[in-house]
Amino acid sequence: NAGVTQTPKFQVLKTGQSMTLQCAQDMNHNSMYWYRQDPGMGLRLIYYSASEGTTDKGEVPNGYNVSRLNKREFSLRLESAAPSQTSVYFCASNIKRGHNEQFFGPGTRLTVL
């Protein structure tokens, strides 16, 4: 039982490049989330998926797209990376509607030059 896994762990991009961050969970959770965390800051919600087949914008969706490929997988795409997107990205999941216990992946540390 791996929990929530994310790939890659580290990535360096040049401005304008694109990439996809992958996330998968093996806990049969319905909801999945993408957050970004900047130094000294809390987690800001980028997008979330309450269930397979649905996605919704969070607090900071601009510059990102997501795909809920199936119940297990939720990917985050940066179409044209910008230095302002340098951050640590966390994927999370939880099962119970209205209950805030989220399980987090180890994070992807992204630098955009």
Q: Give the integer Cα–Cα distance in Å for 20 and 75.
A: 7
For residue 26, what is the DSSP state? S
Which one of 5, 17, 45, 71 is in contact with other proteins (CB under 8 A)? Answer: 45
The three state secondary structure string of 34-88 is: EEEECCCCCEEEEEEECCCCCCEECCCCCCEEEEECCCCEEEEEECCCCHHHCEE
- Show the site string, 16-35: x = touches other proteins by CB under 8 A, - = not: ---------------x-x-x
Q: Which is nearer to other proteins, 26 or 59 (CB)?
A: 59
Contact residue for other proteins among 2, 10, 28, 40 (CB under 8 A): 40
Minimal distance, residue 52 CB to other proteins, in Å: 14
| Near other proteins in 59-98, by CB under 8 A | 59, 90, 94, 97-98
SS3 assignment, position 113:
coil
Of 22, 50, 52, 71, the residue at the interface with other proteins (CB under 8 A) is 50
**Is-contact 54 70, C-beta < 8 A?**
no
**Under the criterion CB under 8 A, does residue 107 sit at the interface with other proteins?**
yes
